[in-house]
Amino acid sequence: MQLDTSFLQDLIGSITERGRDLVGLTWGQEGRGEEQKARPDLVALSEALLTRRGEASGVALAAAIIGGYFDASEDDRVAWLETLAERFGPDGQRLAAAARAYLATGTAEAAAELSEASEPRRQELIRRLNLAPGGTAALVGMRAGLIRHLKSHPRLAPLDVDFRHLFSSWFNRGFLVLRRIDWTTPANILAKIIQYEAVHTIQSWDDLRARLEPPDRRCYAFFHPQLVDDPLIFVEVALTRDIPASIAPLLRIEREVTRPADATTAVFYSISNCQAGLRGVSFGNFLIKQVVEELKRDLPGLKTFVTLSPVPGLTRWLSAELKAEASGAHSPEQLAVAAPLVAGQWQGAGADATKAAVLRTLAARYLMMARTAGGRPVDEVARFHLGNGARLERINVDGDLSAKGLAQAGGVMVNYLYDLATIEANHEAHVDRGEVAASPEVRALLAPPATTTRTRLALPAAARKPR
């Protein structure tokens, strides 16, 4: 999940050249001969872009700044970003006056002035940088860089907030375009699908072809009109006759193909975000729901919409549970299954039904009971789908016996069910009351108190308040 730097470099190259032609600027440093390239003073250019010169020559200035940024060393880039974070905030005097006025009067006008006065100048700067040809892609790339430095340079945080604020508006779902990806899609876009796939690595072009070309496979992506060759997020779908319990048969290149008209089930088996620079701007929820609608329209025979998902945090959680065994939360038999799994000595439950049952129970506890400080599921994939209103439908032991699958979850995979009729209620119950929607089968896995009449599990009180 990395930016396609060659694409970006090309783009930046052309922006820079263009920018240099357009603006006759005094560069920050005089070159001596060819090797020593003149470097523009990015801060001065940024100030210029925010002033009158920006109104007359905005496109050229924006191009020059973006070009200069990508030409600069990593240190110089961070320095400029930090300057933006610190010196391109709101006007302090105006803001203080507005704050006082609002406290004194409380009028709508005072609130409006306060809103305007508090907007950091960085936001207008980012909007004007977007004037450059290819500006949007460059800004997304810029934020991807910023995010890499965020931990080590915490002063960048306010700038990141501004980026996210603007990107949330610009990449509003209303501006996105859903496009089907298939074997007739341009190769440069497919190369990005290979690069961005984050769940089940695409091994080769043959592997890719096997995921796109057969009539029982689908792939959809969101695109933004300004990033026309670069998907934002995509989902891979298999059309099947029942809910699959393991991933390997779906990924096999040689396999029997189901006629789409015979399929009853659409399986979302991989969802990947593509743009590091759009972190915190969420599309996945919309993508799944719209793909469900598309598929329903195309293939009325489809009745079940379900994922086949990894459980990325299971091993990690079991490891912690083992250490805290004294808690008594799990029985010795259960811990005996967890031990080899955590130790990396687990090759799957195979024919051992008892071990499988134990692992299934442990996974159910993890997915339904383990919560973050904020009361949300610890497992990030569970958090996403349950947060969308999906229901935890089935836990599959030996669902993914690849090295990665064994390492992260002892081979366990999970189906989340997207039932449009209950999504909204599930979502509200989850967000409001911390409930987890689960099938009766999954709920039955949870210890003695067989609360069979409800399909959502109330969170233990302890987990519901932020620690």
In the complex with its own copies, the residue whose CB is nearer, 86 or 298, is 86
Min. distance of Cβ 406 from its own copies in angstroms? 30
Residues whose CB falls within 8 Å of the CB of residue 207, separated by 6 or more in sequence, listed in order: 251, 253
Question: Residues binding its own copies: what is the number (CB under 8 A)?
Answer: 70
Q: How far apart are CA 200 and CA 405, in angstroms?
A: 10
284-343 positions binding its own copies, by CB under 8 A: 285-286, 289
Stretch in the footprint of its own copies (CB under 8 A) among 248-256, 266-274, 428-436, 450-458: 428-436
- 298: DSSP letter: H
Residues whose CB falls within 8 Å of the CB of residue 105, separated by 6 or more in sequence, listed in order: none
In the complex with its own copies, the residue whose CB is nearer, 57 or 372, is 57
Q: How far apart are CA 318 and CA 363, in angstroms?
A: 9
Is position 428 an interface residue for its own copies (rule: CB under 8 A)? Answer: yes
Instruction: Select the residue interacting with its own copies from 2, 9, 96, 105 (CB under 8 A).
Output: 96
Is position 19 an interface residue for its own copies (rule: CB under 8 A)? Answer: no
In the complex with its own copies, the residue whose CB is nearer, 172 or 354, is 172
Say if residues 295 and 216 touch (Cβ distance below 8 Å): no
Stretch in the footprint of its own copies (CB under 8 A) among 75-83, 92-100, 308-316, 396-404: 92-100
Backbone angles phi, psi at 300, to 5 degrees: -60, -15
Backbone angles phi, psi at 239, to 5 degrees: -100, 125
- Angle made by CA atoms 278, 280, 286, in degrees to the nearest 5: 85
131-160 positions binding its own copies, by CB under 8 A: 131-132, 135-136, 158
Is position 231 an interface residue for its own copies (rule: CB under 8 A)? Answer: no
Instruction: Select the residue interacting with its own copies from 32, 33, 35, 108 (CB under 8 A).
Output: 108
In the complex with its own copies, the residue whose CB is nearer, 322 or 431, is 431
Min. distance of Cβ 321 from its own copies in angstroms? 32
Say if residues 109 and 101 touch (Cβ distance below 8 Å): no
Residues whose CB falls within 8 Å of the CB of residue 426, separated by 6 or more in sequence, listed in order: 386, 389, 390, 391, 435, 437, 456
In the complex with its own copies, the residue whose CB is nearer, 17 or 74, is 17
Give one DSSP letter per residue of 106-117, joined into a string. Answer: --HHHHHHHHHH
Give one DSSP letter per residue of 317-354, joined into a string. Answer: HHHHHHHTGGG-SS-HHHHHHHHHHHTT-----TT-HH
Is position 244 an interface residue for its own copies (rule: CB under 8 A)? Answer: no
Burial zone of 308 (CB within 10 Å; 0-12 exposed, 13-18 middle, 19+ buried): buried
Q: How far apart are CA 153 and CA 155, in angstroms?
A: 5
Instruction: Select the residue interacting with its own copies from 34, 187, 449, 466 (CB under 8 A).
Output: 187
372-411 positions binding its own copies, by CB under 8 A: 388-389
Is position 229 an interface residue for its own copies (rule: CB under 8 A)? Answer: yes
Stretch in the footprint of its own copies (CB under 8 A) among 33-41, 114-122, 249-257, 455-463: 114-122
Q: Interface residues with its own copies (CB under 8 A)?
A: 52-53, 55-59, 85-86, 89-90, 92, 95-96, 99-100, 102-103, 106, 108-109, 111-112, 114-115, 118-120, 127, 130-132, 135-136, 158, 161, 166, 168-170, 172-175, 177, 183-188, 190-191, 205, 209, 213, 225-226, 229, 285-286, 289, 388-389, 423-424, 427-428, 431-432
